[in-house]
Structure formats: C-alpha cells, structure tokens
Chains A and B, each alone.
Chain A
Amino acid sequence: MIINHPLLGPRDRQEFTYLGDACLIDRPDWQAGNAMDQFYEYVYLRDDPAGEHRELWYHEHGDRSWLVVTRNTVTHEITNVELASDVARKQGRSK
C-alpha cells in the first residue's frame, strides 16, 4: 500500500503507523454537561464501514505528521490524503 503524502509524495505504508477513525480528531469538550456520554462515544464507538473510511495515519518513520487518509477497506484503494492539521483548521480549530 502506498500513501501519497501531501508534502513528501508517495511513501510506503510501512513508514506509517495507524491510529483509527478520523473522528478521533474531534475530542469532546470535557466541561460539557454530558461529557461522560460524549467521551464514551468518542473512545469506543467508531464507524466500521466495508468501503470508504477516513482514518488517521502517523508518518512515524518520516516527517512525523498526522494524515487523514480516505481508504477503501475492501480494495485498499486510497482516494484522498490530507494533513490532519489542515482538516482541523478547516473545521475552525486554531492548530
């Protein structure tokens, strides 16, 4: 599997480690009234599709950036790669 890094170009999958569903970017507010429920869902409930899946990969043996990779879990075809920091900024986060 080759991941097309937005800054470094095509890199082998073995340079990366995998974290999981890209929803892990959106950490809930710990001060919210229902923080317990939100954290339960954040930590334990993730999408598990047979098809397109947005997920977090870490370029551990490279530039150590976090990526959001859109990959098909049946064919392993990768259709989109973004820097996780760009994804977070687009959602209005400051860093």
Chain B
Amino acid sequence: MRYSGLRVIREALNGQKGWKPAWRNPEPKPNYDIIVIGGGGHGLATAHYLATKYGEKSIAVVEKGWIGSGNAGRNTTIVRGDYTLPPNTRFYDHSVGLWEKMERELNFNVMHSQRGLLFVHHNDSERDDHYRKTNIMRMQGTDGEILGPEQVRKMYPSMNFDGRFPITGAYLHRRGGTARHDAVVWGYARSADRRGVDILQNCEVMGFRIEQGKVLGIETTRGFIGARKVGVSVAGNTSRVMDMAGIRTPIESHVLQAFVSEGLKPIIPGQVNYGAGHFYISQSDKGGLVMGGDLDQYNSCAQRGNLPVFESVIEAAVTLFPMLSRARLLRAWGGLQDMSMDGHAVIDETPIKGLYLNGGWCYGGFKATPAAGECFAHLLSTEQPHELAKPYRLDRFRTGYLLDEKGQGPNPNRQ
C-alpha cells in the first residue's frame, strides 16, 4: 500500500478500515542467502539497500526483541554531518544527503527536519576551534558557519548570554537536524518487507555455526537458520555477539543517557550544544525537550544510567536556558553504545569467511543509519568494501590507520 495524502482522506471516509500492517511477521525459513543480525535502524537499512540497490532476493533480519527496541529507540535523534577527518566528512556528508531523500525513497514520513545545529562558544579558544572546524568542513564542501553573539541572540533569545560563561558566538551547521527515530526503523522495515525481506522478531542469536573458518548459519531461539553470509549489526551488543564467533573486537559497551521533559509549546527551534559543559538539547515535534550529555564513563550493559550524569545534564540545561528550571522531566533512558577504541566505526569483513561486521558506532550511529546501511549492503552483496567505507577497517587498530577524530586515544569511556 502506497501512503499518500489522498490515501489518508480515503481512509478517513472509510472509517480507517483499509490500513494493513506495514510488515509481515513470517516464520523463519531454513535457509537464506544473507542474514542481518539486529533489527535496528542499521540492520533494516542494510536489508532495504540489499533488496533495492543490490537486487538480493533471499534476506532475513533477525532481532532478539521487537524492531527498534535497542538504540534505534534510545537516542536523541540528531542527524548531522560535521566531521573533520576527510574519510568521516565524506561519509557523513553522503549520509546527510541520503537523509534528505529518505522520505521519498521509503514513501514514509520520518519527520526529518533540518532545523540547524548550533554549537555555542564562550571564549576565544573555543571560537578559534569552531573556526578551524568550520574551515575544514567548508573546504571539503559541507556546510558550517560562524555566528556572532547578536545573531545567536536573535535565534535563541531565551538563552542566558551573560551568565558565568557568557556566550560569545556560535558555530551553525544548517543541514543538521532531527528525525523521528522510530519512523526511520518502521520506514526501512516496511520498505524491506515489501521487497520480500523476512523480519524475524523475538529471535535471539545464541551462536554461530562455523566450519573450517566459514560461517554456515546462526543458532537462534527459533532454531538453526542457514545462511551463505551473515552481517552483524547489533550496536551495543557487538562485542558479545562477536565473542560467540570467537572474534575479539576493539569495542567496549558504555551507557549514554537521555532525558525528555513534558510536552511544551515550541521554545527551542533548532538543536543546541553547550560549550562550557557537555550538554545538548532539542525539542521534538510533540513538544518534549530531548536532552543528553556525557557517557556514564564506565563499562555498562545495564541500558540505564546513574544519577551523577543526570545531575550534570540538568545543571547545564538550567545554566544555558534558565527558564527550564520550572519544566518537569517525563522520562530518562539509557542506550548501550558500542564504543570503539578510536571513537569510530567498523564496516568490514572478519577473519571468518562469510561473517561481516557493522559496529563500533559509539553514540553516533543514528545519523549514520542510511549511509551505514548502504555501505554494509554493498559489502554483504559484492564482498568488496564500499568506496566510502574503505577506511572503516577492523584491522586499522593493528595497522595504525586510526580515525581518532578527537585525539582521545584508546579510552572508550572518554571518546
């Protein structure tokens, strides 16, 4: 069923009786050509591109819970392409381009809104760093501009400009914005399902069947499923799923919290990042203020965070927007981040033939969803790395070709 304005009107007149489920709930077949483990944004985008762009016919996505129940449903929905290392700038610029045409491609409203990302600065060195970043990005053809304090004041009159850390200007990334995270999952699931991809929910992977260094399939809670190729795309569970295949990954799991307030009238038009602490905020179309900050900074598989981070996020929120002191928080949640040792991702083959990995996205996986799906589909189908994903090798930690955007070194909790 194609979604359109006309369809909405027709269904309204018919008492909404014509809507059908957007994807099937099939039984697993004994064999597939390609199995993608992980029914989040990345896994479903991979299935979508495998079916549409690479013409694969026999694909399954296995998911231990319901689709979008992991990080795809536990993030702050930010889409941006403001990276400085050339491989990252190319990759994320391409990704933002795919976001811009995602709704037409999927025939699904993902509520992608390029409302602009603002990074405020408070002193000369932060300003210089923003100039440096902006210049690097502009030289590589992506967007970024520096605003003076008056321009910022016009955009966000409710910010505290003259507090303990006066705001002296900002860097603005206009193509950045937000999207409805669940809709991205549903859009890709619907598109993949319409092209025959089996989405197997409540199907947890318990192990791999590997013989003579080649993967033959996966053991799941719904029985053995055979496959010629298996792609692992499981975000915060990457290291444990790869452990089942006997592969140690340069990845640790950490928890990142997010908070949302009660629904309020529109007060924050774009997405704002604080410079004097780690804090970011945007307002969802439903009116809730979505906020986040630092990782909890120690290994965690708990999918919930602790109070010190909560405290620092709320302190920063009230420092930047004093009016928020009267707002009430509605919910808090934590997502498991597959933090890699250089803060960047892996899209690569593994030492086991037929087993491929898309992981290590740290806390930046959401914005990469379409491009990571496309690159991973390319790798799974052609067995060659996509041009954009060539630097995202698993062995770069051994060879020394790291992608350490922040220069943090091998400290995943500080990336």
Contact = CB atoms under 8 A, between A and B. Distances in A.
Are chains A and B native binding partners rather than an unrelated pairing? yes
Nearest to A37: B398
B301 A74 contact: yes
Interface string B341-383: 1000000000000000000000000000000000000000000
A53 B298 CA distance: 11
Contacts of B248: 45
A53 B250 CA distance: 16
B327 to A, nearest CB: 25
Contacts of A76: 300, 302, 306
Interface string A49-79: 1110101000000000000000101111000
B151 interface: no
B411 A50 contact: no
Nearest to A57: B298
Contacts of A75: 302
Contacts of A17: 297
A48 B253 contact: yes
Interface in A14-72: 14, 17-21, 40, 43-46, 48-51, 53, 55, 71
A19 B240 CA distance: 21
A13 to B, nearest CB: 7
Given A13-B308, A44-B397, A50 B413 contact: no
A-B pairs with lowest CB-CB distance, top 6: A48-B239, A50-B301, A44-B250, A18-B298, A44-B397, A45-B248
A13 B253 CA distance: 19
Give the one of A18, A44, A74 with max B CB within 10 A: A44
Interface string B296-313: 011111100010100000
A56 to B, nearest CB: 10
Given A73-B299, A76-B300, A1 B306 contact: yes
Given A13-B308, A18-B413, A43-B410, A48 B298 contact: no
A43 B411 contact: no
Contacts of B413: 18, 20
A17 to B, nearest CB: 8
A18 B297 contact: yes
B199 interface: no
B252 interface: yes
A19 B298 CA distance: 8
B136 interface: no
Contacts of A14: 308
Interface of A: 1, 13-14, 17-21, 40, 43-46, 48-51, 53, 55, 71, 73-76
Given A53-B299, A73-B253, 10 more contacts: A1-B306, A17-B297, A44-B341, A44-B397, A48-B251, A48-B299, A73-B299, A73-B302, A74-B301, A74-B302
A45 B301 contact: no
Q: Is the interface of B mostly helix, strand, loop or mixed?
A: mixed
A18 B339 CA distance: 15
Interface string B257-270: 00000000000000
B305 to A, nearest CB: 10
Contact of B250 (A20, A45, A49, A73): A45
Contacts of A50: 240, 253, 301
A60 to B, nearest CB: 12
A90 to B, nearest CB: 23
Given A44-B341, A45-B250, A48-B252, A20 B411 contact: yes
21 contacts: A18-B297, A18-B413, A19-B411, A20-B412, A40-B397, A43-B397, A44-B250, A44-B397, A46-B252, A48-B240, A48-B252, A49-B240, A49-B301, A55-B298, A73-B253, A73-B299, A73-B301, A74-B301, A74-B302, A76-B300, A76-B302
A51 to B, nearest CB: 8
Interface in B232-252: 239-240, 248-252
B247 to A, nearest CB: 10
B410 to A, nearest CB: 5
Nearest to A75: B302
Contacts of B300: 73, 76
Interface string B188-214: 000000000000000000000000000
Contacts of A51: 301
A43 B341 contact: yes
Contacts of B298: 18, 55, 71
